[in-house]
Structure 1
Amino acid sequence: KLFLFLSQTECLKNQQNNNKPHIPPDAGGEGGLTDTQREVLERCLHALRNAKNDSQTLAALLLITRLCPASQLDKPTLRRIFEAVGLNLPARLLVTAVRGNENSGLPPHELLSLGTALLAALSTDPDMASHPQLLTTIPLLLGILANGPVSNQQKQAAQEQTQAGEMDQSPDSKVKSAESSSPESNPANVAKSAEKSKTSKQKGDDGSTSNGISPSKETSPSDSLDEAMAADCYQVLTAVCALPRGPDQLLSRGAVPALCQAVEQNQTCSHEKGLALLGCLLSGKTKDKVWSKHPAELLTLLVRLSKDFCLSKDQARLDMCSQLVQFLPPIGVAVESEELKGAVSRVWGVLRPMMQAKLTPKQIGTILVLSACLLDLYGWEMVGPPKFCCLMVNRACVEVRMGLEEPPGNELSPELQHTLTGCYRIMEAAIEQACSPGLSQTAAPSHSSISSLSLQQSRQVLGVLEEAFSAVVYHLQQVDQSRYGDPFIFATFRSLCSWLAEETSCLKEEVTGLLPFLIGYSRSHLQGESSEQGLSDWMAEISVSEERKAWTGKEPLRYLLPALCHLSAEEGPRKVLLTLDTPALLVNFLSQSWISLKGKSGVVSARDPSMETACSALLNFTVTEPERVRKDQCFRTLEALLSEALPVLVHKPRLLVLAANYCTLGLMIGRLKSTPSGPYQGYGNWRFFSSALRFLRSALDSGSSPGLVTVSISWEESWDDVAELWRLGLQALGGSVRAQPWITTLVREEGWLKHTLTMLDQCSALPDQHTQEALEEALCAIAEQCPACKQEIGDMMMRNDKGALSCMRNLKKSVRVK
């Protein structure tokens, strides 16, 4: 049996290592087999399918591997062999070894070696790798990697199960029972096992430390993990991980804590294969899930890797840059952890001299990507002195220029695209910090902040950023619609938008010339005309990202909106935007966003700044292009949207800023319409203006103190954001009343006029002069268009000549009160 076991293990490893066989061109039939070999193979397959015991199965396998080398077998033939062997035998071997059955005839270590070798060979077939019976062996394989071939916990579990009389179960149920009883089947148990292993490390007389084994005892074969067995275990786990649902299968069976323990215990192959497998589990859509479930284990692992990084030398350290990126937590996870902060600080300390050294493009690329990820975690707080901040931004900008200023038609390699994406994040972070000097003042002053740059250093940073974004503009000018679904184009587009949000005076002609692409790109994605799958995958997998959300198609326009808000206020760019039908694009965006917002009924609605910014851009068009507003059908669509939305928004305090934008935008459009005097013009108009009057009225409160008007409690928190909109809304109300006199009926019916006059009569002063002027303008327009309102205002002014109402000189003239 021992000879059979050793021979079979060796042959199976041959088969596994040659899972992509070389088949001679003239071979026919079963791969490259001769007629005699094919006849023997068929007999062996028959013997495998009809074997009455394990010895017959192993004998047939041995004969196959001796007479039919794996190099001569094609994939269909290998599959026939795999199906004939099945998963029952290797699974039973593992369970027998774990339970320590003395009647097996082989030591547990040898049973495990044979079982893992068989599983490794079978797992090369995807169908076998996804088989439920193979999946049930995963906790056992993880236990082998974390604790050694036959751990004490497994022996104890086996003894308990033996006493319970469970040894008579069927092979399949034995596997399931072993899975449930094994400590490795539960992530919490693996973590406890790792803790026990750490606390059980004992020091010998020479001061050496062993992983849970006393140096005074000899290590038995069953307590050591040989490289072949470890490689077989990792082969199975890696094959499972490659399946569509593979990562979830591994996570649900405790893979992360077990692999972390294997690395912590420095088990065989753990650094080579274990870290690679963990890296796969920590990439893409599963990263957030894994970190939320196992933060302690992953943080301990990251701290260890950061220490290894700091202690490594030259090329090894450069190679570890990419590895560290995989193990950094998602943004917002464990940010307050002092242990994590310490690890990040140490890594920055090592990166500084590396950044200053003479490096190849590939070497500097890995350093810049790691730097970008560290910036995502803690910003500029730990980066270093201002001089180093300048150096890092400069090196990122140089890489962008070198990468993007290639002649048209040159394709960028995936490695270069990954590097440039990291460089973009560094550039974006530099812009954010440079334009938000107040952010660093909220915390303790830090000499390491980039906000501590001298005037000369600031000019240098702005200069290199302008040169880099010139290269970005140049690259985007060459992009045609067939590449709109390319994730790298989106990353480049997003980076440019972050700069345009703060800086539109530089490169004005180049940016204006690029507007057809910027608008076309945003419209294509908003309308779903481009392939979105690649972008969806990229959004989930990108390591340099401030958020991991599903792709909706609105993302490009969201990033472009701040720039549109600036550009629509300038005549030259605005004319180009109008030729590109940009107002219709903005209305479409607001419509889609409103539908999405309505769909969240019952959920506390969060503020959406992008909708507010879209309103600001449309407001610019409304103020500067009245004729376009009167004629363009998209503004009729916008009016209908505002009439539907404002009555809902006035009852949502968290969306007060959006309500102020909708109210003001609708009133500004209303002042451009011309309707005869008489009843209201349609239910939609009546509904909007009725809601607008109630909304405007709710801003000020005369309060309990006589003579003092204050901002109402519901508006107080957002007053800095909405004060100007409220005043502009009052002015627009006056213009709307002049254009549509029927509104004066609503002014009286809704109680706006009575409320306002009472408040002004009772108070001695308003919060500020601008507020008084806005109210006065609205009241003057109402007095001019409505005799009854004029009479009511005049009567109130005659009764009291000391309140805030008496200070409105223009209003006195309108109602002819001295």
Structure 2
Amino acid sequence: MAENGCHLNPEEVSTPQHPPNAEPNAAEGCSSEASGLSQSQREVLERCLHALTHAKNDSHILAALLLITRLCPAGQLDNRTLHRIFEAVGVNLPARLLVTAFRGGDSSGLPPEELISLGTALLAALSTDSSMVSHPQLLSTVPLILSLLENGPTWTDKHTQTLGNEAQSSSGSQTESAADSQTSSRCTLDEALASDCYQVLNAVCVLPQGPEQLLTRGAVLSLCRAVGKKQTLSYEKGLPLLGHLLSSNIRGRVWVKHSSELLSLLGSVSENFCRASDEERLEMCPRIAAFLPPPGVESESQVLKEIVVNLWASLRPLIQSKLTQEHLGLVLVLCACLLDLYGWESTGPPKFCCLLVNRACVEVRMGLEEPPGTEIAPQLQHTLTACYRIMEAAMEQACSQGALSNPAQIQTAITGLSLQQSRQVLGALEEAFSAEIYYLKQVDQTNYDDPFLFATFRSLCVWLAEETSCLKEDVIDLLPFLIGYAKAHFKGAGKGKGLADWMSKMSINNSSQDKTWSREDALRYLLPALSHLSAEDGPRRVLLSLDAPALLVDFLSKGWSSLRGQSGKTATRDPSLETACSALLNFAITEPERVRNDPCFVALENLLSEALPVLLHKPLLLVLAANCCTLGLMIGRLKSTSTDPVEPAQRRFFSSVLSFLLSAVRPAQSSQPAQISALWEEHWEETGELWRLSLQALGGCVRAQPWITSLIRDEGWLQNIFTLLGSSGRLPDQPSQDALEEVLCAIVKQCQLCREDISELVKSVSCGSLQGLPQLSRILVEKIL
């Protein structure tokens, strides 16, 4: 082949219009034996292949290609023959053809439009071979192909440019810049050429890193502009390709990078949807869903809100009409995507919202309440997953029966839902979740890697996080599966590949850019339910029999290993660790014998002794620190009195406890009650009860481990407490005051020296009186007498 440029003789080679081997499925042709070729045709084909393999320049290669394509369409060539052609042609030739056309090389013997036609046809044919499509040389042509689709075939006309420069010189006019003096030519982007370009892009897109390759080469922006200009095949082929890119794991980054262009595109697509007939809308639903942004991205955009309002207005008649299961599935998937964006805010009147939830619940029941062994088709699984998302969006409203405790939840609630409607929704949800339990009871461990199983498991866990009173016996019966499933993934029993692929594509109220599967995810979803269930006698007995505490300790240990290395300013809060502590706290409160005898609680105590001193210096993890403090103290109060030397780790833990509990309070001015410190006040709704429970548990630890009173004196904790209380001797709320008094009474009863310290402190001008601590005052008087 020629090294520089394409040396083509138009007398030797006539340009084929478009070789049939540019079709997308060329590589799937049958073998030549079954292709219908005669013996003489096969002999000619072999001679052409020989000529192609031994060609000395580009002209010979193109001549041989022309003969092959005229002799036999690519669809009749077997893969081996196609591969021989690809090896002979290589990727360099079509790439040089395009570069030569765009740059206007003088050495070329063919017009630019013919070079472009040849180059794209060859690239389209090459891209049907999986080993060729990922070649760096082919990938380097993607920007040129995108330019063709966006702007049509354009090139620099060197001949016209030279004539223009000569005329300019003879007239004596001033010389313009080189860029301005170039003359560009353009020809029409015909369908064959556009089809070849899209064949190449689609072939690249299906590569493992295909979407990433196209993103970095500007595909999203070029395709958006091509659609905006209504270029050839941009709607037929460009939109589906964009939809594929926007449904891949680059979705979040694409929206961040090209939000304005994608919003404009979504507006155009949604306008077409709203103007279409009901039948056309049904077919367009999947396309609309693909072009919606991830939840959280562009959430403040007024343009997007108006688009969503208009889409709901067009969807309502479809939901209210009688549809086939397939068409209803398409509509429900789009509805689920819209709910992910703005909740019930723009959905419509309460009556319609109830209808939507009811239809989703009916689909779940029909899809899951099949005889054991019935296989659920992939499309139905996709529909049911969307129904789960609709059910989740309705859960909070139904379970709270219309009461919204948090104003931030208003946009996710069904506004105007009456109590009766809320109960109807809850009833429909209960039947749907009963169907999920029925389905999960049939699952075999060999199917644990099934993505749809995970979707169903997750949906039920979200329900159990909100509602544990309904279906209680069924839930208790299902606990062995729930724990077994979560444990299997957490311990790495399954491969997790199917789940990893699925999680990278799904978005369920998730604004992260690239959600990847973690083996801990199943347990994370189950944790809120375990926090509720471990507080009830019946479920807790089953959880103990399944060794659930050990699983929770392992999860907490693994999570702490990840957090430990993070700096105090960048530490990321993980609510799952706090929930695991909450469930373990229920066991520590209600199952003292199990705590004393189960080795996992010894491991937990060691973990907490290590974690709390570190957490003191990570203010962003205050809630986790409060959980660890309370849990450690609740375990510590169960210890038997011992004369053995105190371990350093234990001493560090209780020293950290004393500092941590003090940090929650700050002194007030004059005779006002002490105040909650600024850092704690921000999280007081979550930490206030834990702080009070820690004080009560500290009193229990003092009774069980008398050495702690020596530490209290060494740390000056009593003096610090009374200084913070000030002259009022009070905390801002009575429950906190009662908890503080309880621990002070326990200290006084246990330690004579502490009793004397307090008596001296209340006489000090800088410390408070005992007016707010009547029980402590009475104990001090009794001891004196």
TM-score (norm 2): 0.90
**Native 8 Å contact 1:15 1:69 kept in 2:** no
In the TM superposition, residue 629 of structure 1 has moved relative to its aligned partner by: 0.6
541 and 229 in structure 1: CA distance in 2 versus 1, 3 angstrom threshold: same
SS in 2 for 1:501: helix
Corresponding position of 1:217: none
Determine the C-alpha separation between the residues in 2 that align with 1:157 and 1:804: 98
Aligned runs of 1:653-732 on 2, under 5 Å? 653-676=619-642, 680-732=645-697
Q: Write the letter of the residue equivalent to 2:31.
A: I
SS in 1 for 2:156: helix
Determine the C-alpha separation between the residues in 2 that align with 1:390 and 1:482: 37
11 and 453 in structure 1: CA distance in 2 versus 1, 3 angstrom threshold: closer
In the TM superposition, residue 708 of structure 1 has moved relative to its aligned partner by: 3.2
Corresponding position of 1:21: 29
In the TM superposition, residue 338 of structure 1 has moved relative to its aligned partner by: 1.1
74 and 686 in structure 1: CA distance in 2 versus 1, 3 angstrom threshold: same
Q: Which moved more, 1:489-498 or 1:128-137?
A: 128-137
Q: Write the letter of the residue equivalent to 1:129.
A: V
Q: Within the alignment, does 1:525 sit opposite 2:533 as a pair? A: no
Q: Write the letter of the residue equivalent to 1:788.
A: L
Q: Write the letter of the residue equivalent to 2:656.
A: S
Q: Write the letter of the residue equivalent to 1:63.
A: L
Corresponding position of 1:241: 205
In the TM superposition, residue 607 of structure 1 has moved relative to its aligned partner by: 2.2
Corresponding position of 1:380: 344
In the TM superposition, residue 9 of structure 1 has moved relative to its aligned partner by: 3.6
CA deviation digits over 1:227-266, x for unaligned, max 9?
A: 1111111111111112222222221211111111111111
Corresponding position of 1:203: none
Determine the C-alpha separation between the residues in 1 that align with 2:737 and 2:213: 66
**Native 8 Å contact 1:760 1:805 kept in 2:** no
Determine the C-alpha separation between the residues in 2 that align with 1:51 and 1:377: 59
Corresponding position of 2:575: 609
SS in 2 for 1:765: coil
Determine the C-alpha separation between the residues in 2 that align with 1:103 and 1:783: 101
Q: Within the alignment, does 1:566 sit opposite 2:532 as a pair? A: yes
Determine the C-alpha separation between the residues in 2 that align with 1:145 and 1:567: 59
568 and 443 in structure 1: CA distance in 2 versus 1, 3 angstrom threshold: closer
Determine the C-alpha separation between the residues in 2 that align with 1:440 and 1:348: 27
**Native 8 Å contact 1:12 1:118 kept in 2:** no
In the TM superposition, residue 51 of structure 1 has moved relative to its aligned partner by: 3.0
**Native 8 Å contact 1:393 1:426 kept in 2:** yes
**Native 8 Å contact 1:23 1:71 kept in 2:** no
Aligned runs of 1:441-590 on 2, under 5 Å? 442=407, 450-548=414-512, 549-590=515-556
Q: Which moved more, 1:556-565 or 1:347-356?
A: 556-565
**Native 8 Å contact 2:725 2:767 kept in 1:** no
Q: Within the alignment, does 1:108 sit opposite 2:108 as a pair? A: no
Corresponding position of 1:88: 92
Q: Within the alignment, does 1:323 sit opposite 2:287 as a pair? A: yes
In the TM superposition, residue 445 of structure 1 has moved relative to its aligned partner by: 8.4
Corresponding position of 2:243: 279
**Native 8 Å contact 1:11 1:65 kept in 2:** yes
CA deviation digits over 1:26-52, x for unaligned, max 9?
A: 66xxx8877755554444334324434
Q: Write the letter of the residue equivalent to 2:113.
A: H
Determine the C-alpha separation between the residues in 2 that align with 1:668 and 1:544: 37
156 and 616 in structure 1: CA distance in 2 versus 1, 3 angstrom threshold: farther
Aligned counterpart for 2:379 among listed residues 395, 399, 415: 415
Determine the C-alpha separation between the residues in 2 that align with 1:440 and 1:106: 74
Determine the C-alpha separation between the residues in 1 that align with 2:224 and 2:702: 70
Aligned runs of 1:92-491 on 2, under 5 Å? 92-100=96-104, 104-150=108-154, 154-155=155-156, 222-434=186-398, 442=407, 450-491=414-455
Determine the C-alpha separation between the residues in 1 that align with 2:715 and 2:203: 70
Q: Write the letter of the residue equivalent to 1:633.
A: P
In the TM superposition, residue 703 of structure 1 has moved relative to its aligned partner by: 3.5
In the TM superposition, residue 6 of structure 1 has moved relative to its aligned partner by: 6.2
Q: Write the letter of the residue equivalent to 1:343.
A: I
Q: Write the letter of the residue equivalent to 2:373.
A: G
SS in 2 for 1:450: coil
SS in 2 for 1:335: coil
**Across the two proteins, how many residue pairs are aligned to each other?**
756
**Native 8 Å contact 2:568 2:620 kept in 1:** no
802 and 597 in structure 1: CA distance in 2 versus 1, 3 angstrom threshold: closer
In the TM superposition, residue 155 of structure 1 has moved relative to its aligned partner by: 3.2
Identity of aligned residues (%): 61
Structure 2: runs of 5 or more not aligned: 1-8, 166-177
Corresponding position of 1:782: 747
Q: CA RMSD in A?
A: 2.9
In the TM superposition, residue 598 of structure 1 has moved relative to its aligned partner by: 1.5
Q: Within the alignment, does 1:641 sit opposite 2:607 as a pair? A: yes
In the TM superposition, residue 725 of structure 1 has moved relative to its aligned partner by: 1.0
**Native 8 Å contact 1:149 1:225 kept in 2:** yes
SS in 1 for 2:770: helix
Q: Within the alignment, does 1:809 sit opposite 2:774 as a pair? A: yes
In the TM superposition, residue 4 of structure 1 has moved relative to its aligned partner by: 7.5
CA deviation digits over 1:734-791, x for unaligned, max 9?
A: 1101111111111111111221234446334321222222122111211222221122
Corresponding position of 2:3: none
Determine the C-alpha separation between the residues in 1 that align with 2:163 and 2:591: 86
**Native 8 Å contact 2:121 2:196 kept in 1:** yes
**Native 8 Å contact 2:126 2:132 kept in 1:** yes
Q: Within the alignment, does 1:763 sit opposite 2:728 as a pair? A: yes
